[in-house]
A and B are shown apart, each in its own frame.
Chain A
Amino acid sequence: MKEYYLGVDVGSVSTNIVIMDENNNVVVKKYIRTKGKPIKAIQFGLKEIKEEIGEIEVKGVGTTGSGRYLASILIGADIVKNEITAHAVAALNYIPDVKTILEIGGQDSKIIILRDGIVTDFAMNTVCAAGTGSFLDRQAARLGIDIKEFGELALKSNNPVRIAGRCAVFAESDMIHKQQLGHNQEDIINGLCEALVRNYLSNVGKGKEILAPVIFQGGVAANVGIKRAFEKALDMEVYVPEHYDVMGAIGSAILARNEVKSKESSKFKGFEVADIDYKVKGFECNDCANMCEVIQILAEDKVIARWGDKCGKWTNLSDINLQRLA
Chain B
Amino acid sequence: MSYKIGIPRALLYYEYYPLWKEFFTELGAEIVLSSNTNKSILNAGVSSCVDEACLPVKVFHGHVEELKNKVDYLFIPKFISVYKKEYLCPKLLGLPEMVINSIDNLPPVIDVEINLLKSDDNLHKSVIEIGKIFTSDNKKIKLAFDKAISRFNEYRKLLANGVIPIEAIKVYNKYVNSITTLKNSKYKILVLGHSYNLYDEFLSMKLIEKLQKENMKVITPDIVDIGKINHYISKLPKRMFWSFGRKIVGASSYLIEEKAVDGIIYISSFGCGLDSVLIDLVSRKAKKYKVPFTLVTIDEHSGEAGVNTRLEAFIDMIIWRDRNEDYISTHG
Contacts and interface: CB of A to CB of B under 8 A. Distances in A.
A121 B290 CA distance: 9
Interface stretch (A28-36, A133-141, A288-296): A288-296
A310 B270 CA distance: 23
A70 to B, nearest CB: 10
Contacts of B301: 127
Nearest to A126: B297
B39 interface: yes
Interface in A90-147: 108, 116, 118-124, 126-127
Interface residues of A, number: 28
Contact of B317 (A119, A291, A292, A326): A119
Given A84-B316, A118-B321, A326 B308 contact: yes
A306 to B, nearest CB: 15
B122 to A, nearest CB: 38
Given A126-B295, A289-B39, A290-B39, A116 B324 contact: yes
B270 A126 contact: yes
B309 A66 contact: yes
A81 B320 CA distance: 14
B39 A291 contact: yes
Nearest to A117: B324
B316 A325 contact: no
B120 interface: no
A120 B317 CA distance: 7
A83 interface: yes
A310 B303 CA distance: 11
B85 interface: no
Interface in B22-38: 35, 38
B313 A122 contact: yes
B270 A127 contact: yes
B320 A207 contact: no
A83 B313 contact: yes
Interface string B283-309: 110010010111101010110111011
A83 B309 contact: yes
B185 interface: no
B311 A84 contact: no
A179 interface: no
Given A123-B294, A289-B39, A82 B309 contact: yes
Contacts of A66: 305, 309
A85 B38 contact: no
B297 A119 contact: no
A155 B38 CA distance: 50
Interface in B13-61: 35, 38-41
Given A119-B321, A123-B294, A127-B270, A82 B41 contact: no
Question: Residue among B213, B299, B320 with the most chain A CB within 10 A?
Answer: B320
Contacts of A326: 304, 308
Given A83-B313, A122-B313, A325-B210, A127 B39 contact: no
Given A82-B309, A118-B320, A289 B270 contact: no
A325 B214 CA distance: 10
A293 to B, nearest CB: 8
A288 B40 CA distance: 10
The 4 closest A-B CB pairs, nearest first, are: A84-B313, A289-B38, A82-B312, A126-B297
Interface of A: 66, 81-85, 108, 116, 118-124, 126-127, 207, 288-293, 310, 324-326
Given A290-B202, A325-B308, 13 more contacts: A81-B316, A82-B308, A85-B316, A118-B320, A120-B321, A122-B294, A124-B310, A127-B299, A127-B301, A207-B284, A290-B38, A325-B312, A326-B304
12 contacts: A66-B309, A84-B313, A116-B324, A119-B320, A120-B292, A120-B317, A122-B294, A126-B297, A207-B284, A207-B287, A288-B38, A290-B202
